[in-house]
Amino acid sequence: MPEYRYIARNELGVKVEGIFDAANESEALAALSAGGLFPTSISPVMAQVVTGKVRRVKGELLATFYSQLSDLLRGGVPLLRSLKILHDQTSNVNFKFVLDNVYRRVESGDTLSEAMSRYEIVFGEMGVQMVRAGSEGGFLEESLTHVAEHTEAQDDLRGRIIGAIVYPALLFAFLVVIVFVIMVFIVPNFDVIFNDLRSRGDLPQITEWLLFSSKQMKYILAVMAPICFIGFIWYRYWSATERGQLIVDGFKLRVPVAGKVYEGFAIARFCRILGTLLKNGVPIVKSLDIAGDAIGNKVLLNAIQKASEKISSGARLAAPLAESGCFPKSLTEIIAIAEESNTLDTVLIAASNSLEKRNWRLLDLAVRFIEPVMIILLGVVVLFFVLALMLPMFNMANVS
């Protein structure tokens, strides 16, 4: 249903502003009049909000918002005043727009979680649910603090992972550029030089292969470029399907070394989100749904959804997770003990910290292994070019 922003006067002449839903502008005017308001202006909310085109914001900005809102509320500042302060101080145009609409919806009578749920792409389902639980349970400030800590931890984790793989990625890109430059711009110049050796049959096979590949490089690129482009488009379409996503996510888990690291971080993220939600009073089935969506892997998500169905039927969490075979046995045993002692939320967060430490050790080991491998590969490529181009020269020198 469309949203309309209005400016009106009440019976005392006091200016009132807000946002509410209505089928059309006439219905909006009628609703305002029925509520004892005299509208002076009414207009539809910007299309980008209605169509869901509001962009995501950086985790650092979102964590700051949650933290500052918690501090303001804890300091006794009313919610509306707090939202107004945070709206005025943010420099991000997209986030300022979102906060302005959240402020107006809260002013119109919505709860904070209801207003935030309109912009779930910005705040995330986890943030919305934790704010809802905090509002209903009377611990909103604590919930906001937990969301801020979690958002900051996830942003830091993402940044560290990107930082860890930058160096190997740059080495690989450098290797590709070196090979391309040599094959396209340098090797063809040797073709004329080696004509005499080729006519006598003294040109080494490795050099023949290199010269042939260099000549064909432009044709190979001309053919491969459209094939790669079409393949990429097909992959994007196929991987978005249910079956394609399941196959791709299953492959990610089976990649040697990298698959274990990927799986470890995904499970750690699941444990942290689930533990944080449970700690803030969100029911376990709803918490599993949110944490499952945030895990980022269809294979693991299916296992979590099956566990959620069994929990709805009265089962506990540890058994269905263990049956799926997707979660470490040590983790499911810890969860089983935590369920017995009623400390599941605390144990899950502690398990997340432990898993992340182990995953960082694996990632550091993998990166340290990749770096020398890339350097050795670069050396092998350079050696191949040197041999292919220098051996004929040695033959020419011997003939002379």
Structure confidence by residue, pLDDT tens digits, 18-72: 666 665 666 767 777 777 777 777 766 644 444 345 778 888 889 899 999 999 9
Mean pLDDT of the chain: 81
In this structure, the answer to whether residues 64 and 115 fall within a common structural domain is yes
CA 104 to CA 301: how far, in whole Å?
36
DSSP 25-47: HHHHHHHHHHTT-EEEEEEEPPH
Structure confidence by residue, pLDDT tens digits, 5-17: 677 777 766 777 7
In a domain, 129, yes or no: yes
In this structure, the answer to whether residues 26 and 73 fall within a common structural domain is no
Tally the residues of the chain. 400
In this structure, the answer to whether residues 41 and 64 fall within a common structural domain is no
- CATH code, domain carrying 65: 1.20.81.30
In a domain, 281, yes or no: no
What value, to the nearest 5°, has the Cα angle with vertex 187 and ends 183 and 190?
Answer: 170
Q: Describe the strand order of the beta sheet including 15-21 as a list of residue ranges.
A: 15-21, 3-9, 38-44
344, two tokens:
């599941």
Q: Residue 120: what pLDDT?
A: 82
In this structure, the answer to whether residues 23 and 98 fall within a common structural domain is no
Out of 132, 149, 166, pick the residue that ends a domain.
149
In a domain, 111, yes or no: yes
In a domain, 98, yes or no: yes
- Enter the DSSP assignment of 188: G
Q: Residue 71: what pLDDT?
A: 92
In a domain, 324, yes or no: no
Structural domain tally of the chain? 2
What value, to the nearest 5°, has the Cα angle with vertex 325 and ends 331 and 245?
Answer: 110
In this structure, the answer to whether residues 8 and 79 fall within a common structural domain is no
In this structure, the answer to whether residues 37 and 65 fall within a common structural domain is no
Structure confidence by residue, pLDDT tens digits, 284-337: 888 888 888 777 788 888 888 888 888 888 888 888 888 888 888 888 899 999
In a domain, 101, yes or no: yes
Q: Residue 205: what pLDDT?
A: 84
Q: Residue 340: what pLDDT?
A: 87
More confident residue, 27 or 113: 113
In a domain, 79, yes or no: yes
3-class state of residue 3 by DSSP: strand
pTM of the model: 0.65
In this structure, the answer to whether residues 64 and 140 fall within a common structural domain is yes
In this structure, the answer to whether residues 34 and 74 fall within a common structural domain is no
CA 54 to CA 184: how far, in whole Å?
45
User: Domain range holding 35?
Assistant: 3-45
CA 289 to CA 359: how far, in whole Å?
24
In this structure, the answer to whether residues 41 and 67 fall within a common structural domain is no
Can you say how many angstroms the Cα of residue 108 is from the centroid of all Cα atoms in its chain?
33
More confident residue, 245 or 129: 245
